[in-house]
Structure 1
Amino acid sequence: MTAYYSEEVIQSVVEANDIVDVVSGYMTLKRTGNSYKGKCPFHNEKTASFTVSSEKQLYHCFGCGVGGNVITFIMEIEKLPFVDALKFLAARVNLVLPEKHNEQEDQQAYEKKKRLYDLHRDAANYYYRCLKTNQSGIEYLLKRGISQETIKTFGLGYATADWDRLFGFLKTKGYSIEEIIASGLVLVSENNHHYDRFRNRIMFPIVNPRGQIVGFGGRIMAGDAKGPKYLNSPETLIFSKSYELYNLNHCKKFIDEGRILIVEGYMDVISLYEKGIKNTVAALGTAFTAFHGKILERYANEVVLTFDGDSAGAAATEKAMNILKNTNLNVKIVILPEKDDPDSYVQKYGFDGFNDLVSNALTIIEYQLRLLKKKNDLTQTDGRLNYGNEAIKVLKGLSGSVEIDYYSKMVAKETGINQEVIRREVIRSKTNANQSTGINLNRKEPADTKIPKAYEKAQQLAIQYCLKAPDSIAAFPGEYLTDDFYQRLLTSASERIQEDGKIEINRLLSHFHDPGETQIIVELMMNEKEVSRIDYQDALEIMKRFYNKAQLGQLSEQIKRETTNGNDDEVAKLTNQLIEMKKMMKDNGRH
């Protein structure tokens, strides 16, 4: 999906969205002369100082100084990056943004997505109406402490036990069988019978940050019911579990302190919301991904992992922690009692009790040291020594001397080992690690071979193009790559190209276990700067020139060695190769 839009396209979106209409959807405006005024939504004030000009199509707050056009307003109020804000406004007025540089294909793709968005909205309304007439569903939610108001806020619904009731409803709404199947809400049996994916379940609509329903989660109400406890929509044209976070559409409005809580389930989110804790999101029935981390960076400065207190929750915490520590987010971790989850804990101890837990959340280092303590008996000498050695390995990941000093003191207190000894060992282990790995750990060339910045940039650009245009991978000259990681990435990507020609990202990421490598893949895939075919060809030319120069250097070194060894025949052979290569490079240079 391209991230570049011409000035004409951007202007057409701005012109189609009257700023007064848009702003009025978020706050009360009163006309004063040729302008409109209201209380600023971006800071607390008693006197209205937020002004919107219909004539200039601009807004400005004379209190806090914010201002801009309709796009910047949506970016601020919805916490969206520029491109998503542009799409938000385009969707609001049914404008088609160019994505494929082909008007007919653009229109077809837009219509397919629009129909799926409409279908999901109609399905959500259907489920909501079913819940209103289902006493057992209402009673289940009320017993879980969920009020009627919260049910309405989240659009909770109910899927009946009937096999094809939703299918029949969607057909009456005018959707084709192909569209219904594409939604993933209806399946086809071997006998070519259509049946609903969700049956006899409480339904949770999944809403993207732009307010569009993209999928559903369904929970069984009785423990003895058949099927998994939670069932989610499959991947579709408008929905991917690796990108979406449940409740982000609500949560982004309540991030006053730049903090988001991450929990495991739908009911965790809703129970916390019911108790007044509204800055909460959940991954959608899948492991936390690097894409989720990248998305959270847009909205928050700090995330607090608040997973279940059991062993599964601990495993999920460790995986999410390893992903998030490679972001710019400050990461904290809450440890719940073993038999509790956020839902049960907030039911027992309420708003204040849960917030006390969050205020005492651990840093990543504190959490890792706590795990080490559980694995070692600190009443025994061997246990204390092993804990000390393992703790030093953890602390060597710290970058600042203040942090090293602080945590060294903590370890010293637990073990009785002198703090200065621990601090010195941490610094020594950091130095040894840097010396042993070096800058060129994954490079094929000798460590003293310097890679020009232009060549490194060309490699990155070429890889980015290949990931977004997978048909180019087969012909890619892999010998041009100096980084083993890039070679493995392209090989894995080529094995995960789907029938539609796109790379299956979830399967690709599952092949890479190193958080650093995963982060690089995410950045390449989510980089919104478009790489054209011409850019790609230019990058290949740069790589080719460097590769040929490196080959010349190797041939020259070989000639020197064979000359020293007195091997005249080999020298003659290598010299001919050198001459041919220089001639080829000269000819290529002319063209």
Structure 2
Amino acid sequence: MDTNSIRDEIKHRADIVALVSRYVTLQRAGHRMRARCPFHEESQPSFYVDPAAGFYKCFGCGAGGDVFSFLMQIEGLSFPEAAERLAEMVGLSWRPDPAAKKVSSQRDVVRRANQYAADFFLRSLRGKAGYAARQYLAERGITEQSVEQFGVGYAPNSWDALLRTLAGKGISGEVASRCGLVKPRDAGGFYDTFRNRIMFPIRDVSGQVIGFGGRTMDPEEQAKYINSPETVLFKKSRTVYGLDIARQAVSRANLVIVVEGYTDVISLHQAGIRNVVACLGTATTADHLQLLSRYADEIVFVYDADAAGMAAALRHVETFEKAPADVKIALLPTGLDPDEAVRSMGVEGFQRVLADRLSLIEYQLRAIHQQYQNHSGADRAAAAREIVKILVKVTDVARREAFVAMVADWWGQGNPGRTEAMERVLTEQLAKLVPARRGRHRYGAGRLRGSSSDRDYITEAVMRVAEGVPVGCLKMETSMLAAALADEQIARQLSEALEPADLVDVCDRAIYSRLLEHLASGEPFGPQELVNQMQDEPDIGDRALELWMCEVDCSLERKVLEANIANFKRHRALQEWEQQQKMIIEALERGELSPDSSEYQDHKQRTAELFGPGRSGFYRHESPWGAVGRGADDSSGGAAGEQLPEDNEGS
């Protein structure tokens, strides 16, 4: 089987819904599936998957394609790497051509080395050298089932045990060093990075081992936890521990709980709270939030209620506010981490902590109150200023007033006078700031609506200035072509009435030309294959996929098709008329043409046909969609703005 045949077979067998569902939570939307896009931040879903066709398309950022392009984009793979991964999923063997074999296999080598290491650590835990580690895990309440599920292992207290094991698997010291599994010695050679440590494999969302975290068994060791260094596979700022195991529970709950440590995740899973992950002890990044937002609409970060925990949460507030999902904060009793909390409070107690989670606004307000509650009047004035800065971001008036009342009640501490005074101060300060924010509208609120509104809006805005394309023209063209790709009757009716040149967009003309060729071929109507064939042509392929994925009402399009066809034909006729008008005016000015000439009379006749009898010239014509090009009241120069001289006929 040649490369193209294998590619087609992989695409035929691969389930795009199953693949995409590894990364985002898809929901049924008609005969398609919908989710928030995994490739850009958005609050409302604009990412669609067509299970029957095997395509995906985001109408927000424009990403689109098939199973190959999805895996390449989301995992950062080359085509051969994505093809090999997909082939393995569907039970085929991928054999790239010689040129493709030259593509870097570094990822595969690192992936294999990490898996060999994970297997070695697990064997070591179960062997004689792992006795103390097994005792430690048992004392922490980590069961054998969890050890198996999370792949927990042990790195022996040896300088070269892993190095020798990897060498036996054909992994050199240089390669193992690139994986972060060994380090180079000053005198030459290598030594194991992880020694005498409980090992926690870090996996990507598909379950592949990409790195490790190690907890020391030596109480004298200063570095309690160490992680793998960053590699071609492992990026701390983009990696979440436990997501490969938790993602289904996260999707079902539409909520993800974020804790700090490996054992916190494992303990909560054992307790039946399975929608929980960890951010590897690193600062929470926008990439972490983007990743988690693919799976749930709500993200809950669990912190200790002590000063350190409060400070940690406050450091991340600005990042949290930009998350696509709704971020909240749950506070544990002071001095407890999630592992200790679930063991001391039980599952019900921990669930109460989650139920009492705070919005970011409320959390910041509480933090300020805690900081200033026992301070003097001057400090309270400073607190009021900080509170106002937070509340001014709350656009809902009723919600803002509720926060004001809540904060005032806290500060009053049962004293009505103090409560009233604080409420008055906050209300007055907010009144000075909030009106200045009224009347502002988000950019783009008045854009064209519809499945491809962003593209139509931008393209049309440019073309209106450059080519006199009417308002709404591209939106109509999009709906009409999308319907033609979805309905053979519409496609054939269109083919009998319009030529490619009648359309406005250059990509649409190319796609329509291909559709006409397909209809003329005598083959069964197969627009899906037609769209598939165009995917290797960047601009045309993207537009074809966009049209294919558009939600279009074919019954409505049939009703308006004749009117739309007439509009496009008239628009083309008007464009041709304007070109002829310009040439005639220029010829008249040069003295090369007179009103008695046949060319002039032909143009006069054409003008009457387009605009009615008695019109030999005019300043501005109306397009089928309204005023074209410059505003209809613009009487500045230019061919379409010049009036032809009247002849003396009939005067």
What interval of TM-score do these two structures reach, taking the shorter chain for normalisation?
Answer: 0.5 to 0.7
Residue of structure 1 in register with 2:181 after alignment: 185
2:51 maps to 1:68? yes
Alignment of 1:101-140 (within 5 A): 107-133=101-127, 134-140=130-136
Q: 1:145 aligns with which of 141, 147, 150?
A: 141
Q: Aligned pair in 2 of structure 1 residues 108, 186: CA closer, same or farther (>3 Å)?
A: farther
In structure 1, what is the Cα distance between the partners aligned to 2:238 and 2:269?
22
Q: 1:373 aligns with which of 369, 374, 379?
A: 369
Residue of structure 2 in register with 1:254 after alignment: 249
In structure 1, what is the Cα distance between the partners aligned to 2:274 and 2:335?
23
**What secondary structure does 2:258 align onto?**
strand
Residue of structure 1 in register with 2:342 after alignment: 346
Alignment of 1:532-551 (within 5 A): none
- Read off the aligned partner of 2:233 and give its amino acid letter: I
Alignment of 1:557-576 (within 5 A): none
2:12 maps to 1:15? yes
Could you give the per-residue CA deviations for residues 319-355 of structure 1, whole angstroms, max 9, x where no partner exists?
Answer: 3332121122111111223311111111111211111
Cα deviation, residue 314, structure 1: 2.8
In structure 2, what is the Cα distance between the partners aligned to 1:118 and 1:394?
49
2:420 maps to 1:417? yes
Supply the RMSD in Å over aligned alpha carbons.
4.1
Q: Aligned pair in 2 of structure 1 residues 132, 284: CA closer, same or farther (>3 Å)?
A: same
**What secondary structure does 1:307 align onto?**
strand
Alignment of 1:270-419 (within 5 A): 270-377=266-373, 381-382=377-378, 384-415=380-411, 416-417=419-420, 419=423
In structure 1, what is the Cα distance between the partners aligned to 2:438 and 2:410?
28
Residue of structure 2 in register with 1:426 after alignment: 430
2:241 maps to 1:238? no
**What secondary structure does 2:138 align onto?**
helix
Could you give the per-residue CA deviations for residues 278-316 of structure 1, whole angstroms, max 9, x where no partner exists?
Answer: 111111232111111111111110111113444443333
Could you give the per-residue CA deviations for residues 215-253 of structure 1, whole angstroms, max 9, x where no partner exists?
Answer: 0000012432x2401010001111110111000111111
In structure 2, what is the Cα distance between the partners aligned to 1:104 and 1:312?
57
Q: Aligned pair in 2 of structure 1 residues 353, 136: CA closer, same or farther (>3 Å)?
A: same
Could you give the per-residue CA deviations for residues 400-448 of structure 1, whole angstroms, max 9, x where no partner exists?
Answer: 2222122122123234136466345324223457999x99xxxxxxxxx
**What secondary structure does 1:331 align onto?**
strand
In structure 1, what is the Cα distance between the partners aligned to 2:295 and 2:26?
15
2:159 maps to 1:163? yes
2:293–2:299: 8 Å Cα contact kept in structure 1? no
1:332–1:364: 8 Å Cα contact kept in structure 2? yes
In structure 1, what is the Cα distance between the partners aligned to 2:401 and 2:7?
52
1:19–1:70: 8 Å Cα contact kept in structure 2? no
The range that moved more, 139-148 or 303-312, is 303-312
1:219–1:231: 8 Å Cα contact kept in structure 2? yes
Could you give the per-residue CA deviations for residues 489-510 of structure 1, whole angstroms, max 9, x where no partner exists?
Answer: xxxxxxxxxxxxxxxxxxxxxx
In structure 2, what is the Cα distance between the partners aligned to 1:81 and 1:281?
24
Cα deviation, residue 357, structure 1: 0.3
Q: Aligned pair in 2 of structure 1 residues 163, 309: CA closer, same or farther (>3 Å)?
A: farther
Residue of structure 2 in register with 1:220 after alignment: 216
Task: State the TM-score, normalizing by the size of structure 2.
Answer: 0.53
- Read off the aligned partner of 2:124 and give its amino acid letter: C
1:303–1:329: 8 Å Cα contact kept in structure 2? yes
Q: Aligned pair in 2 of structure 1 residues 227, 375: CA closer, same or farther (>3 Å)?
A: closer
Identity across matched positions, percent? 31
In structure 2, what is the Cα distance between the partners aligned to 1:366 and 1:170?
52
2:15–2:51: 8 Å Cα contact kept in structure 1? no
- Read off the aligned partner of 2:194 and give its amino acid letter: F
2:259–2:277: 8 Å Cα contact kept in structure 1? yes
Q: Aligned pair in 2 of structure 1 residues 19, 312: CA closer, same or farther (>3 Å)?
A: closer
**What secondary structure does 1:246 align onto?**
coil
- Read off the aligned partner of 1:239 and give its amino acid letter: F
1:13–1:90: 8 Å Cα contact kept in structure 2? no
- Read off the aligned partner of 1:132 and give its amino acid letter: R
- Read off the aligned partner of 2:12 and give its amino acid letter: E
**What secondary structure does 2:213 align onto?**
strand
Q: Aligned pair in 2 of structure 1 residues 89, 322: CA closer, same or farther (>3 Å)?
A: farther
In structure 1, what is the Cα distance between the partners aligned to 2:437 and 2:408?
23
Residue of structure 1 in register with 2:476 after alignment: none
- Read off the aligned partner of 1:115 and give its amino acid letter: V
In structure 1, what is the Cα distance between the partners aligned to 2:439 and 2:158?
66
Q: Aligned pair in 2 of structure 1 residues 94, 70: CA closer, same or farther (>3 Å)?
A: farther
In structure 2, what is the Cα distance between the partners aligned to 1:360 and 1:108?
55
Q: Aligned pair in 2 of structure 1 residues 9, 296: CA closer, same or farther (>3 Å)?
A: farther
2:95 maps to 1:91? no
In structure 2, what is the Cα distance between the partners aligned to 1:263 and 1:531?
42
- Read off the aligned partner of 1:68 and give its amino acid letter: P
Residue of structure 1 in register with 2:586 after alignment: none
- Read off the aligned partner of 1:210 and give its amino acid letter: S
* Structure with the greater alpha carbon radius of gyration: 2
Cα deviation, residue 392, structure 1: 1.5
1:19–1:69: 8 Å Cα contact kept in structure 2? no
In structure 2, what is the Cα distance between the partners aligned to 1:126 and 1:164?
12
In structure 2, what is the Cα distance between the partners aligned to 1:383 and 1:413?
18
Could you give the per-residue CA deviations for residues 109-141 of structure 1, whole angstroms, max 9, x where no partner exists?
Answer: 452211211111111011001001121111100
1:293–1:327: 8 Å Cα contact kept in structure 2? yes
2:196–2:218: 8 Å Cα contact kept in structure 1? no
In structure 2, what is the Cα distance between the partners aligned to 1:42 and 1:335?
31
Cα deviation, residue 176, structure 1: 2.6
- Read off the aligned partner of 1:302 and give its amino acid letter: E
In structure 2, what is the Cα distance between the partners aligned to 1:105 and 1:292?
36
Cα deviation, residue 11, structure 1: 4.5
Could you give the per-residue CA deviations for residues 151-204 of structure 1, whole angstroms, max 9, x where no partner exists?
Answer: 100000000001010000000011233322211101111101310000000000
Task: State the TM-score, normalizing by the size of structure 1.
Answer: 0.59
In structure 1, what is the Cα distance between the partners aligned to 2:70 and 2:428?
44
In structure 1, what is the Cα distance between the partners aligned to 2:5 and 2:363?
52
- Unaligned residue ranges in structure 2 (runs of 5+): 28-48, 57-63, 90-95, 412-418, 444-456, 463-536, 540-651
Q: Aligned pair in 2 of structure 1 residues 206, 381: CA closer, same or farther (>3 Å)?
A: same
1:166–1:196: 8 Å Cα contact kept in structure 2? yes
Could you give the per-residue CA deviations for residues 454-498 of structure 1, whole angstroms, max 9, x where no partner exists?
Answer: 9x99xxxxxxxxxxxxxxxxxxxxxxxxxxxxxxxxxxxxxxxxx
- Read off the aligned partner of 1:410 and give its amino acid letter: M
In structure 2, what is the Cα distance between the partners aligned to 1:312 and 1:136?
32
- Unaligned residue ranges in structure 1 (runs of 5+): 1-6, 27-40, 44-65, 96-101, 440-451, 458-529, 533-591
